[in-house]
C-alpha cells in the first residue's frame, strides 16, 4: 500500500469562486493545489460580456496568494441574447475558454439563463468556429419532471439536438450524476466529455436524506440512487479520457444552507484532491488518478499539461468543521471527517 503519491499538478475544470468577501476567502484553498480552474460565471449579476469576464478575472487575480501561480480560466454566462459578436470578441480576448449553458432557474443564480435553445443557434455556431467550449448544466426545469429524472430528460430533449446540430462544438457535460449520462458520454464522439464531482462519487441520495435532511450535502444536480453512483465510479475506474476532475465546489455561508432557502452547493475546495484520492484508493485505482485529475481535462480543452508536480501522503487529517468568511462560518463538504490522504 503506497504511502505517498506524486502526480502532475492538477486543474479544476468546474469551480465557483463567487465574489467580494467570499472570493477572497475561497481562492487560496483552490490555488494551494490546482494550477488552473474553469471559473463559473453565475454571479449576481452574471458574467455575460467579455468586458465583465475581464473585470472578474482581475478581481480573482487580486486575491491569489503571492506565492501561487494559479490561473483562472474564464467563462461567459449564456443568455437568450448572447450574440456571435460577443463570442468572437471573447475568443479574441483570450481569457474566456468556454461558455456556460444554465437552463433558466436550474440552479444557483440561473434566473437569467437560457429559455430557448433556438435563440442560440448563431452563438453555438460561433463557439464551434472560435474554439470556445460549451459547458452545460444538464437538467431540465419543467415542474412536471421529477428532480431525480431531470438529467436524463435534458439528454433526450436538449443535449442530443445540440451535439447533433453542432458536431464541431466541444461540449462538457458538467457534474454528471447518472448512468444515463455516463452512457451518453461514452457513446458520443470525441467532442463530448464530462466532469465528475467528489460528492457524486462518494455519496448517493441516502447521504442526503436518511436520518434527516443534511443540507451541506445538498447540491444540484441532486445526489442520485446508489446504482448511479456506482456507474460514476465505474466510469472513472474504466480510465476513459472523456471524464475529468471538476469539483463544482460551491461555497455558501452556513446560515444560507441551514434554512428554508436550501442553497444548492457543496464547498469541497479545502479537501478537493484528497477526496478524489480517498475514493480512487477505495476503488483500487490510485494509478488512474493522475490521468483523471491532470491529463484528461487539459487534453480536451486543447491546453498544455502542467509542468510541475505535487505529492499526496497517506496521513490522516480532519476536514475543518467550519471555514471563516468575513467573520461568518461556512461548512465545507465532509466537515469534521477524517481523510487518509493529504496534500503536502
- Known binding residue 14? Answer is yes
Sign of CA dihedral 271, 63, 47, 165: negative
Q: Compute how many other C-beta atoms are within 10 angstroms of the C-beta atom of residue 140.
A: 18
| CA pseudo-torsion sign 129, 132, 133, 134 | negative
The answer to whether 264 is a known ligand-binding residue is: yes
Distances (CA, A) of 242 to 61, 73, 161, 230, 270: 30, 20, 20, 17, 26
Determine whether the annotation assigns residue 255 to a binding site. no
**CB–CB of 201/233 below 8 Å?**
yes
User: Annotated binding residue at 200?
Assistant: no
Report the Cα 310 to chain-centroid distance in Å.
21
State the DSSP string of 28-46: HHHHTT-SEEEEP---SS-
Q: Tell whether 121 is in a known binding site.
A: no
Q: Annotated binding residue at 175?
A: yes
Is 242 annotated as a binding-site member?
no
Q: Is 42 marked as binding a ligand?
A: yes
Catalytic status, residue 248: yes
First to last CA, the chain: 18
Q: Which of 11, 12, 248, 281 is catalytic?
A: 248
Cell numbers for 64? 491569489
Nearest CA among 343, 245, 247, 248 for reference residue 299: 245
**17 marked ligand binding residue:** yes
Q: Answer whether 236's CB lies under 8 Å from 202's CB.
A: no
State yes or no: 137 annotated in a binding site. yes
Distance CA 56, CA 44 (A): 12
Question: Which is nearest to 205 in space by CA: 180, 178, 237, 185?
Answer: 178
For cell 501561487, name the residue. Answer: 68
Q: Which sequence positions are flagged as catalytic?
A: 248
Q: Which residues are annotated as a binding site?
A: 14, 16-18, 42, 100, 137, 175, 220, 248, 252, 264
- What residues are designated binding site for Zn(2+)? 14, 16, 100, 137, 175, 248
Amino acid at each position: 500500500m503506497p504511502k505517498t503519491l506524486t502526480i502532475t499538478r492538477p486543474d479544476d475544470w468546474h469551480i465557483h469562486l463567487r465574489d467580494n468577501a467570499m472570493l477572497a476567502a475561497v481562492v487560496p484553498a483552490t490555488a494551494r493545489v490546482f494550477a488552473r480552474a474553469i471559473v463559473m460565471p453565475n454571479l449576481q449579476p452574471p458574467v455575460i460580456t467579455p468586458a465583465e469576464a475581464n473585470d472578474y478575472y482581475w478581481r480573482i487575480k487580486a486575491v491569489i496568494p503571492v506565492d501561487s501561480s494559479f490561473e483562472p480560466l474564464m467563462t461567459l454566462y449564456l443568455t437568450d441574447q448572447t450574440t456571435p459578436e460577443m463570442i468572437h470578441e471573447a475568443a479574441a480576448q483570450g481569457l474566456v475558454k468556454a461558455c456556460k449553458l444554465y437552463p433558466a432557474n436550474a440552479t444557483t443564480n440561473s434566473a437569467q439563463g437560457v429559455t430557448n435553445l433556438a435563440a442560440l443557434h448563431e452563438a453555438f455556431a460561433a463557439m464551434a468556429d472560435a474554439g470556445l467550449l460549451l459547458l452545460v448544466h444538464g437538467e431540465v426545469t419543467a415542474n412536471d419532471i421529477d428532480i431525480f429524472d431531470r438529467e436524463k430528460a435534458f439528454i433526450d430533449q436538449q443535449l442530443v439536438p445540440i451535439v447533433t446540430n453542432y458536431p464541431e462544438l466541444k461540449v462538457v457535460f458538467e457534474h454528471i450524476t447518472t448512468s444515463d449520462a455516463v452512457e451518453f458520454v461514452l457513446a458520443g464522439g470525441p467532442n463530448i466529455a464530462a466532469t465528475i464531482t467528489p460528492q457524486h462519487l462518494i455519496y448517493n441520495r441516502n447521504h442526503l436524506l436518511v436520518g434527516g435532511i443534511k443540507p451541506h450535502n445538498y447540491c444540484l444536480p441532486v445526489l442520485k440512487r446508489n446504482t448511479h453512483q456506482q456507474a460514476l465510479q465505474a466510469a472513472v475506474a474504466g480510465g476513459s479520457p472523456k471524464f475529468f476532475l471538476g469539483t463544482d465546489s460551491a461555497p455558501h455561508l452556513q446560515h444560507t444552507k441551514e434554512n428554508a432557502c436550501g442553497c444548492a452547493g457543496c464547498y469541497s475546495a479545502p479537501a478537493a484532491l484528497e477526496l478524489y484520492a480517498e475514493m480512487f484508493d477505495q476503488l483500487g485505482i490510485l494509478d488512474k488518478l493522475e490521468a483523471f485529475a491532470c491529463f484528461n481535462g487539459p487534453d480536451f480543452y486543447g491546453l498544455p499539461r502542467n509542468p510541475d508536480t505535487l505529492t499526496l501522503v497517506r496521513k490522516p487529517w480532519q476536514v475543518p468543521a467550519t471555514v471563516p468568511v468575513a467573520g461568518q462560518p461556512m461548512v465545507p463538504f465532509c466537515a469534521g471527517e477524517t481523510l487518509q490522504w493529504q496534500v503536502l
